[in-house]
Amino acid sequence: MVTSDDPARATTPRDPAATQAGAPRSQPEAVTADPAGPFGDVEPALARLAAMYGVATGYLDARDQPVAVPVVAVRRVLELMGVDTADPVAALAAAQAAPWRRLGPPSVVVKASAPTAVTLRLPAGLAPEAVRCELVLADGTVLAVTAGPAGERRELDGAQLVARPAPLPAGLPLGDHVLRVRAGELESTTQVVAVPDRVPEPTEPATNPARMWGWMVQLYALRSAGSWGMGDYADLATLAAWSGSAAGGRADVLLVNPLHAAAPTLPVQSSPYYPASRRFLSPLYLRPEDTPEYAAADPATRAAVDGHAAAAREAHLAADGFGELIDRDTVWKSKLAALELLFAWSPAAAAAGAGEAGAEVAEFALWCALAERHGPDWRVWPAELRDREPSALAAARAELADRVAFHRWLQARAEQQVAAAQAAAEAAGMRVGIVHDLAVGVDPAGADTWADRDAYAVGVSIGAPPDTFNQQGQDWGLPPWRPDRLAATGYAPLRRMIAAVLGRGGGLRVDHILGLFRLWWIPAGAGAGNGTYVRYDAEAMLGVLALEAAKAGALVVGEDLGTVEPTVATTLADFGVFGSSVLWFENDADGVPLPPAAWRARTMASVTTHDLPTAAGFLLGEHIRARAERGLLARPVAAETAEWRASRDALLAHLRAHGLLAPAAEPALEPETGDELAPELLQEAALGMHRLLVATPARIILAAPGDAVGDRLQPNLPSTVDSYPNWRLPVRDSDGRQVTLEELMADERVARLVAVLAEAAGQPGGPAASP
């Protein structure tokens, strides 16, 4: 996420040095305050307690100025983590004693190649033969483990205890193992998650890393003649097959917006980044005609489904200045009616919906059925359902059995159609295929928080602190993971989610990957500026990400835009996670565009993202106008406009200086506006921007289809809700006309861009050919 989704890029603690990569805002640095230092009022005991739980008591803002976190915010965040702050000294003592109340920790994440020892806390004075340790591998093999020499000692509840390391053997198999410990009459088990050193290379060995290119698409925005008013899974398969073909330039990557599930109720959530569940798929993208039930249906049923399709294809919303918009509500009503017909007609569908299924999909289907009955916010359901009382859930499963089976069937068909899209990519020769975007969080009222509520913090949301762009800070309305509870489970909810998404394609893009290092927690009702940073175990979370990626043989990309301290960038690189580079941000400290050779190599590079101006939008200042009309500018319009013009002209000069823009393409301004560039220059400049990407060493180059045809409007305008049609805009050309998938694949402007992008695979690391 960028701008309103992630405007303040906070660095992690321990290293105040940060490198500027031309981001529009700097990334505040979370720090643990010295009570006697510049952060002020936090008493020493509370500061030490906060540090133990990873809660920051101060940070450096966008101007590198120290900001003290209000004491009340520190206390409230600690309390939301289950800490009693009335007596910080007693709470600190309890927290320090807690690990000593078990022989071993509940779980550990270790590198399989060279695992760190597990710290055991054993009764002092036990004879060696009274201590038994064994590591049970996933395949049942049992390995003896010998506890090491005594270390730290502590008295707890009158008992003398001693810490001793339990060294684990090098070269562990990847996956889950169990360390069993017996000390006298005491026993404990520790889950040992063995992870790879890094995410495997997605294609050739690291000694000969091949470059790739591809498309990044908002699937809903790219409809075809066969889709129901918005792009769908069948369109994704068509786009993948074309992209990997010779006609499509033999692309290797197709990045798609999050396809996470929304609530099955009206109104349909427009944002792909505010899902009810990140674990399951959205049935909104289903193509009913591609289900086996439609193929087997009688003529009357098929005719009824076709009628619903016709109605959906005619549906659209309208907004002044934006033309036709995607109408998700009408699309879902039409598809729901059609899918219910097919499910009711086909005994096979009903059997599939009621048959064997995993516990998680069964729970999600139950949530969907309950959401239809009681509304999409489980927090206001009847208490027994809200609190998941077993008897109430059993009764609901029985009463709503048909709807539960229906929603299980929807998930089965969605998985089939997404698998077909990845199969089409592979059949076309794409080396990676579909890369799924993983949203940074979930709806607090949705299915994931209902099913895994213990893993999420309650009464708090994540966002960003105040900065020069958003002076009040930002509250994204998404609940954070509880770092302590997540770790205690061996990161099970995170792993299940990652595994599910990775299993549907060739790669994963992690939105706001810096959230694996820290997040800005905002207590409910406090206001976005009155929160603080909470640190996560990034090594463990990246480790389990690498584990699931290794199992799937998948590419992993982290959205790491903004000012990132060197330790974060180094950690991501060490784990084999690709970073993200965006043209608008690749400037030096003075705002001068970086030469192509200065860009990072291990990144997925693009001109823009869904939160930023399109190529044409930037060249025409559309992003300035859109924000000015909605009162979102922090400075006078004239100042913002002058800065944009200077940036635009500098970019055009930069493209010319590197031979990426034809000299004949002069920046002639249209006299009636003063800012409108000639159409010829607009198209040539957009091509030049992509030639610049190809000229960099970036391993993966992506382009948005709208940039090929001159689309001026960005999919999402951060800091807006209803004043801009976020996530409802179809792809349009330079004249504002909607472009279908069929038209896109046949458009000469797209063919020209494909020819430029294909150079990335044909000339590894070399400069793009002259225009």
pLDDT for residue 207 is more than 60:
no
Question: Residue 468 is encoded by which pair of tokens?
Answer: 């020069």
First to last CA, the chain: 32
Average pLDDT over residues 574-591: 92
Residue 700 or 60, more confident: 700
What is the predicted pLDDT for the residue at 9? Answer: 28
Of the ranges 92-96, 365-369, 549-553, 568-572, which one carries the lowest mean pLDDT score? Answer: 568-572
Rounded distance between C-alpha atoms, residue 747 and residue 733, angstroms: 11
Average pLDDT over residues 364-381: 98
pLDDT for residue 697 is more than 60:
yes
What is the predicted pLDDT for the residue at 473? Answer: 78
pLDDT per residue as tens digits for the range 508-527: 999 999 999 999 999 999 99
Task: Compute the radius of gyration of the chain from its Cα atoms.
Answer: 27
pLDDT for residue 244 is more than 70:
yes
3-state secondary structure of 373: helix
Half-sphere exposure of 682 (CA within 13 A, CB side): 26
Rounded distance between C-alpha atoms, residue 544 and residue 405, angstroms: 32
- Whose tokens are 């004043």? That residue is 723
Average pLDDT over residues 636-640: 94
Of 105, 171, 172, 180, the closest CA to residue 139 belongs to 172
Of the ranges 319-328, 348-357, 438-447, 575-584, which one carries the lowest mean pLDDT score? Answer: 348-357
The answer to whether the beta carbons of residues 435 and 557 sit under 8 Å apart is yes
pTM (2 decimals)?
0.92
Question: Residue 409 is encoded by which pair of tokens?
Answer: 């069937």
3-state secondary structure of 709: helix
Mean of all residue pLDDT scores within the chain: 89
Rounded distance between C-alpha atoms, residue 685 and residue 668, angstroms: 12
The answer to whether the beta carbons of residues 326 and 220 sit under 8 Å apart is yes
Question: Helices 401-427 and 359-374, interaxial angle, to 10°?
Answer: 120
Average pLDDT over residues 274-286: 98
Angle at 326 between CA 437 and CA 746, to 5 degrees: 75
The answer to whether the beta carbons of residues 523 and 46 sit under 8 Å apart is no
What is the predicted pLDDT for the residue at 216? Answer: 98
3-state secondary structure 150-182: CCCEEEECCEEEEEEEECCCCCCCCEEEEEEEE
pLDDT for residue 14 is more than 50:
no
3-state secondary structure of 496: helix
Phi, psi of 169 (to 5 degrees): -70, 145
What is the predicted pLDDT for the residue at 471? Answer: 59
Could you tell me the pLDDT band of residue 41, with boundaries at 50, 70 and 90? confident
CB-based burial label for 322 (10 Å; 0-12, 13-18, 19+): middle
What is the predicted pLDDT for the residue at 250? Answer: 94
